[in-house]
Amino acid sequence: MRKHRVVVTGIGVVTPIGIGKDLFWSALRARKVGVRPITRFDASAYNSRIAGEVVDFDPTDFVDAKRLRWTERYAQFSIAAARLAMDDARYHVNGDGNDVGVYIGSALGGLAYAEAQSEEFRTKGIEVVRPLLAISVFGGSSVSNVAIAFGLCGPNVANANSCASGTVAVGQAFRAVASGEARAALAGGVEAPLAPLIFGAFTVINAMSRRNDDPAAASRPFDAQRDGFVMAEGAGMLVLERYEDAARRDAPIYAEVKGFGLSNDAYHMSAPRPDGSQVARAMQLALDDAGIAPGDVDCINAHGSSTPLGDRTELEAYGHVFGSRSPDVAVCATKGQHGHALGATGAWEIAVSLLGMQDSILPGAVNLRSTDSKRTINCSANERSLEQRTVLSNSSGFGGINAALVLQRST
């Protein structure tokens, strides 16, 4: 069924540590942390009061005046990341977007805007509710707005597969381009979840860090002192296209997408299956799809959410896949710097993998001091030089959804 090799030629990110791939990458290497006390609303009553906010985002830099009136933060993030990715890829549709697709994942879609409008409705009545609400609350508003902005009439698919949704979207786009269903695709994840009720719902279940007095040290993937994830907002988009098309137009090729795997724990809505078997299965499915042996993986870009159970489970999964070699496989975990933007984070981490492969650099896990797992992990707090030909990028989320992608430096 696979007719084409698929490569990534463009990266676009909107993150708490930088907008655009260059600022994002330099911030990671400089160990910049984008976690700070929440300013978007009054969180004083919550047990977690910190987040990764995108503080320097100006939608007018990316969205024309007409579309600006009909979009809110979630859709604006989508368009911004898509524009950055297309500019980076030097990709121009030129009026022929019939077979260019859009695949975007988001855990919560436009719910934050709906929450704000709900408060307006409750206090002032229906006459003040903006017409924009009706076209903003569904997850598909992201792919629809991107399609309209760039004239992309190919397959448009939005998914809501929790914190794995960005990785799922890239996997779906990979399959579409590989099979010939689409000539090229924009794919990634978008999240704008920082609203009182949505944020508060995660504090109620004690999922997020309470290290409010030290925000920069709050997100601690794999560290023994981790106490929960740090919610963030933003977007990440990639341009995927056929290798022959990218080569023909001399496009920048970051890497080839080689395989995709997807599984479900079928265990619990908010807790991972403790043995990590289905996380491992998603990883193995991606490797099998790529025709690559575990021994050929140079680096794992971890989900590394900084939750006590999640990180421990992920290490168990590594043991299933890599066996005795597990302690030696390099692990990249960057949520300590940019936080966890739910459905968008998988796309950020794929971007980290691509940029790390390009520069032979593995960013440090800035808040890692010591682990509490019985399994050894090859993850460092400091940046390392590492030649990376093959990278396995993982994502997992509520509902037990697990996704993995295999990336390989193109030759």
> Is residue 95's pLDDT more than 90?
no
313-335 pLDDT tens trace: 999 999 999 999 999 999 999 99
163 noted as active-site residue:
yes
Of 254, 294, 301, 292, whose CA–CA distance to 396 is shortest? 301
Buried b (16+ CB within 10 A) or exposed e, 5-19: bbbbbbbbbbbbbbb
Neighbours of 292 (CB within 10 A): 17
Q: Which of 320, 338, 340, 379 is catalytic?
A: 340
Domains of the chain: 6-248 (3.40.47.10), 259-408 (3.40.47.10)
Burial of 127 (0-12, 13-18, 19+ CB in 10 A): exposed
- Nearby residues of 215 by Cβ (< 8 Å), 6 or more positions away: 33, 35, 36, 37, 50, 230
DSSP assignment of 378-394: B--SS-EE---SEEEEE
Question: Which residue in 69, 30, 38 sits closest to 55, CA to CA?
Answer: 38
The whole-number pLDDT of residue 345 equals 98
User: Tens of pLDDT along 280-308?
Assistant: 999 999 999 999 999 999 999 999 999 99
Q: Which pLDDT value is given to residue 374?
A: 87
Q: Which residue out of 163, 299, 332, 379 is catalytically annotated?
A: 163
367-398 pLDDT, tens digit per residue, is 999 999 889 999 999 999 999 999 999 999 99
> How does residue 170 score in pLDDT terms, banded at 50, 70 and 90?
very high
- Verify whether residue 299 is a known catalytic residue: no
Angle at 316 between CA 314 and CA 319, to 5 degrees: 115
Confidence of residue 269 (pLDDT cuts 50, 70, 90): very high
153 is catalytic: no
pLDDT at position 138 over 90: no
